[in-house]
């Protein structure tokens, strides 16, 4: 079947659309069933409680309707999706030499091993359904930093794993969190012990190669008291004419006085449904930042959320969405204030190009009794062409009147005067337009590590080619 | 090769709209600085933008030649890379794009390759020194929140770094305080030389005390109606435009 699927020719816009000559060593039958869930659990050699958890989650998934309040999901057909594809027998290779050559070459093309040597503290690489590589710098291992696949986390750190797994996002949370809970595979298990500051980022890279595959990674990050970590997630896939599906669950616990950041540069091919639930629990005087960049996919529904559950907790959510023709980026964020003297912000920048559509969807909730909460929301939309579209759905539930809440929203169009001004200094029209877009997202992009900011700029330049005139 | 910027019988209108230029004839030889004066709404800025290649206007007749070559078919960026520069009457704000970064990209586009960072930095330093300006202006976002005077001074800084062959400066003096005016004039005078021609659009004779023009032209209703030396600017300062308007009326 997969041999018959043609790779769509989309010119050079999406440069990661190549297909690797890799056949999975084992692939579940198409569609979702109890048998498939059991098979996944069997292949992972899991304890019985996990299989029970999965089966229960499957029931929850089946009992929940497909959400209709957001992006159009009617094209997503679960019967046409493979829920598990094992790329190789060996999980969590510690050296790239142990990764099958074809797979390794893909990551080399993507520049992962090189980045690992230069600017990262550790790398996890997921290929289809499994983490094929996982390594963290030795000095961090000695300090007790755990950075392994979620499966290894369950196997070797079961107590710690059980303490956190599904506590931040239970299967009941939403239909796709339930689905992930039933069929999860891959993702990282990260534990940063008290007081340990991981200076360089940890990166996980997700690649889906098998056509019509769903990827359901599950990540747990625990940042213990006073510790610091920055986790970066990147992703690409070949451009098939049939759709693929990615539905991750990311649970983060930021303990007292700790600081964490989770950065996503989502660059899936334009045939991907990307429905992700990610949530952080932020404790006393702790801080968490979500930096969410959504450039790829056909449909994205993704609203990183932070629950500020103890005094002094703070969180910022920075979001960039770029929707080109054929894409709907439904993104934003949620900040839930359940303690006094907590604060945070959401800054959302969306760009819609061609017939692309971006939506900002956000929730600010301040519980009664959470005193002196300070929160600010800013969402700016930039429309490149006449047919480009944007919508804003800002929800506010403020139950305590000591809260200070700011909200600002703007919609602007690519400005001809700006283009002419830049052009009159020598920049070609496309470059001028790309530069304006880069300037538009700069307040968010400047928070990225340099290498990622450069990559983001490059991606935006590619997306902006042939955009005007 | 003719070393001049020539506007030949130029007629132009807003795309699908009103006609603004009604046969402009003007020659700025390389090495000279000319001034254009004229009442509000005469078409001075429009002329500047059309020379620079603003696509919101269309040319219905005539030609613009740079060193003998017509530039009408070129896009604005191509004209700029050929050595044309327009200092805007209203410089445009571009938030999020740093002034220096943009200048580097512009210079890169002009040179057609990576710019040598040392060389670029040297140019910036030199321009800032002449303009008696602080480096902090480089890291700010392009014109974003700049005061009126800062915007004008920044245009001249861009000009000094990009080193055009022909520059049009549209009311660069408006909004400048006395000291800033002198400093900006110093910048323009520093560009003066056999390989630089300029067209200064201004309302005030005062600027021309600091930048002495080789010729002064008066534009009324989209046409140059009279030209002369620096003394013409003095006469306009004293007598206003009525007499030129009469001249224009009898001419047409
Ligand atoms: N894009 C445009 N849309 C509408 N009207 C325009 C446009 N551009 C120019 N005009 C009109 O054309 C005429 C000439 O304008 P222009 O800006 O060239 O005048 P100017 O000589 O520079 O005046 P000032 O001394 O006030 O700067 C004015 O009446 C102006 O309103
Ligand atoms: Mg004007």
ipTM for this model: 0.97
Instruction: For residues A368 and A353, give the distance between their C-alpha atoms in angstroms, rounded to a whole number.
Output: 41
Architecture of the B4-251 domain: 3-Layer(aba) Sandwich (3.40)
Give yes or no for residue B43 CB within 6 A of ligand 1. Answer: yes
Higher pLDDT among residues A220 and A241, named by residue: A220
Q: What is the DSSP letter of B143?
A: T
A397: Cβ–Cβ under 8 A, 6 or more apart, which residues? Answer: A363, A364, A365, A366
Q: Is A143 exposed, middle or buried (0-12, 13-18, 19+ CB in 10 A)?
A: middle
Q: Given CA atoms A121, A125, A130, A134 in this order, what sign does their dihedral have?
A: negative
Give yes or no for residue B42 CB within 6 A of ligand 1. Answer: yes
Give per-residue pLDDT as tens, B224-239. 999 999 999 999 999 9
Determine the pLDDT at residue B219: 97
CB contact under 8 A, B88 and A421: yes
Please tell me which of the candidates A416, A425, A440 has its beta carbon nearest to residue B80: A425
Mutate to test the pocket of ligand 1, among B18, B20, B39 (most ligand atoms within 8 A of CB): B20
Instruction: For residues A175 and A65, give the distance between their C-alpha atoms in angstroms, rounded to a whole number.
Output: 7
pLDDT at B54 over 90: yes
- B45 CA to centre of ligand 1 in angstroms: 7
pLDDT at B43 over 50: yes
**Which of A424, A445, A460 best probes binding to B when mutated, by most B CB atoms within 10 angstroms?**
A424
CB contact under 8 A, A426 and B55: no
Instruction: For residues A444 and A291, give the distance between their C-alpha atoms in angstroms, rounded to a whole number.
Output: 8
Instruction: For residues A318 and A445, give the distance between their C-alpha atoms in angstroms, rounded to a whole number.
Output: 9
* A217 touches A177 (CB < 8 A): no
Q: What CA–CA distances, in Å, run from A398 to A309, A336, A346?
A: 16, 10, 16
- A203 CA to centre of ligand 2 in angstroms: 54
Arithmetic mean of pLDDT, A269-291:
97
Please tell me which of the candidates B105, B107, B110 has its beta carbon nearest to residue A435: B105
Determine the pLDDT at residue A467: 64
b or e along B19-44 (b: 16 or more beta carbons within 10 Å of the residue's beta carbon)? ebbbbbebbbebebbbbbbbbeebbb
Beta partners for residue B166, in sequence order: B84, B197
Q: What CA–CA distances, in Å, run from B30 to A267, B160, B185, B192, B194?
A: 51, 17, 19, 10, 6
pLDDT at A4 over 70: no
CB contact under 8 A, A421 and B91: yes
Chain A residues whose CB is inside 8 A of the B100 CB are: none
Q: What CA–CA distances, in Å, run from A104 to A83, A112, A127, A134, A234?
A: 23, 10, 10, 13, 16
Q: Can you tell me whether residue B39 is helix, strand or coil?
A: coil
Residue closest by Cα to atom 27 of ligand 1: B40
- B22 CA to centre of ligand 1 in angstroms: 13
Give per-residue pLDDT as tens, A294-330. 999 999 999 999 999 999 999 999 999 999 999 999 9
Arithmetic mean of pLDDT, A436-446:
95
Instruction: Parse chain A into domains and list their residue ranges.
Output: 10-302, 428-469
Determine the pLDDT at residue A12: 40
pLDDT at A399 over 70: yes
Instruction: For residues A187 and A207, give the distance between their C-alpha atoms in angstroms, rounded to a whole number.
Output: 12
Give per-residue pLDDT as tens, A401-410. 999 999 999 9
Which of A343-352, A431-440, B240-249 shows the lowest per-residue confidence on average (mean pLDDT)?
B240-249
Determine the pLDDT at residue B252: 62
Determine the pLDDT at residue A6: 35
């Amino acid at each position: 079947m997969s041999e018959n699927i043609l790779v769509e020719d989309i010119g050079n816009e999406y440069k990661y659309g190549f297909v690797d000559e890799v056949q999975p060593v084992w692939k579940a039958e198409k569609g979702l069933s109890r048998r498939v869930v059991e098979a996944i659990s069997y292949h992972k050699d899991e304890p019985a409680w996990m299989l029970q958890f999965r089966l229960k989650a499957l029931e929850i998934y089946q009992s929940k309707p497909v959400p209709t309040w957001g992006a159009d999901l009617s094209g997503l057909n679960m019967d046409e999706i493979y829920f598990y594809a094992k790329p190789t027998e060996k999980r969590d290779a510690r050296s790239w030499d142990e990764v099958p050559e074809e797979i390794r070459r893909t990551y080399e093309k993507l520049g992962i091993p090189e980045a690992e040597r230069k600017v990262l503290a550790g790398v996890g690489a997921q290929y289809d359904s499994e983490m094929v590589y996982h390594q963290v710098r030795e000095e961090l291992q000695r300090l007790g930093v755990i950075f392994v696949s979620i499966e290894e986390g369950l196997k070797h750190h079961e107590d710690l794993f059980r303490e956190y797994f599904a506590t931040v996002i239970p299967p009941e949370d939403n239909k796709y969190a339930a689905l992930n809970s039933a069929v999860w595979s891959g993702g990282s298990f990260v534990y940063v012990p008290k007081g340990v500051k991981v200076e360089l980022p940890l990166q996980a890279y997700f690649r889906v190669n098998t056509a019509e595959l769903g990827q359901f990674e599950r990540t747990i990050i625990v940042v213990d008291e006073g510790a610091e970590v920055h986790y970066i997630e990147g992703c690409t896939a070949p451009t098939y004419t049939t759709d693929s599906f990615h539905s991750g669950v990311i649970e983060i616990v930021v303990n007292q006085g700790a600081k964490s950041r989770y950065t996503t540069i989502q660059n899936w091919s334009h045939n991907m449904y990307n429905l992700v639930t990610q949530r952080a629990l932020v404790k006393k005087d702790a801080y968490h930042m979500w930096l969410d960049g959504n450039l790829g996919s056909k449909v994205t529904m993704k609203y990183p959320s932070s629950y500020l559950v103890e005094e002094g907790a703070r969180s910022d959510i920075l979001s960039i969405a770029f929707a080109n023709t054929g894409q709907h980026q439904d993104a934003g964020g949620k900040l839930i204030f359940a303690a006094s003297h907590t604060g945070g912000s959401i800054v959302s920048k969306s760009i819609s190009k061609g017939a692309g559509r971006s939506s900002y969807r956000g929730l600010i909730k301040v519980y009664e009794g959470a005193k002196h909460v300070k929160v600010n929301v800013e969402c700016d939309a930039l429309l490149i062409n006449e047919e480009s579209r944007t919508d804003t759905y800002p929800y506010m539930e403020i139950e305590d009147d000591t809260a200070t809440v700011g909200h600002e929203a703007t919609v602007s169009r690519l400005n001809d005067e700006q283009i002419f001004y830049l052009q009159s200094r020598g920049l070609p029209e496309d470059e001028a337009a790309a530069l304006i877009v880069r300037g538009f997202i700069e307040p968010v992009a400047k928070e990225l590590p340099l290498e990622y900011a450069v990559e983001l700029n490059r991606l935006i330049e590619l997306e902006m080619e042939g955009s005007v005139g | 090769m003719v070393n001049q910027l020539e506007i030949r019988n130029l007629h132009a209108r807003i795309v699908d709209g009103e006609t603004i230029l009604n046969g402009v004839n003007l020659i700025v030889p390389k090495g000279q600085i000319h001034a254009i004066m004229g009442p509000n709404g005469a078409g001075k800025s429009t002329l500047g933008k059309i020379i620079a290649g603003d696509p919101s206007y269309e040319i219905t007749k005539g030609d613009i030649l740079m060193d003998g070559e017509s530039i009408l078919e070129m896009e604005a960026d191509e004209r700029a890379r050929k050595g044309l520069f327009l200092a805007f009457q209203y410089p445009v704000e571009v938030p999020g794009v740093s002034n220096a970064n943009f200048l580097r990209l512009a210079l890169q586009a002009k040179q057609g390759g990576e710019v040598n960072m040392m060389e670029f930095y040297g140019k910036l330093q030199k321009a800032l020194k002449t303009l008696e300006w602080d480096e902090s202006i480089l890291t700010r976002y392009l014109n974003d929140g700049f005061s009126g005077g800062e915007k004008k001074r920044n245009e001249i800084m861009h000009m000094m770094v990009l080193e055009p062959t022909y520059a049009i400066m549209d009311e660069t003096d408006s909004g400048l305080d006395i000291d800033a005016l002198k400093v900006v004039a110093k910048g323009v005078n520093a560009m003066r030389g056999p390989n630089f021609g300029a067209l200064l659009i201004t309302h005030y004779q005062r600027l021309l005390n600091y930048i002495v023009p080789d010729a002064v032209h008066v534009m009324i209703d989209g046409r140059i109606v009279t030209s002369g030396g620096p003394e013409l600017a003095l006469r306009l300062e004293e007598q206003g435009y009525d007499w030129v308007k009469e001249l224009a009326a009898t001419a047409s």
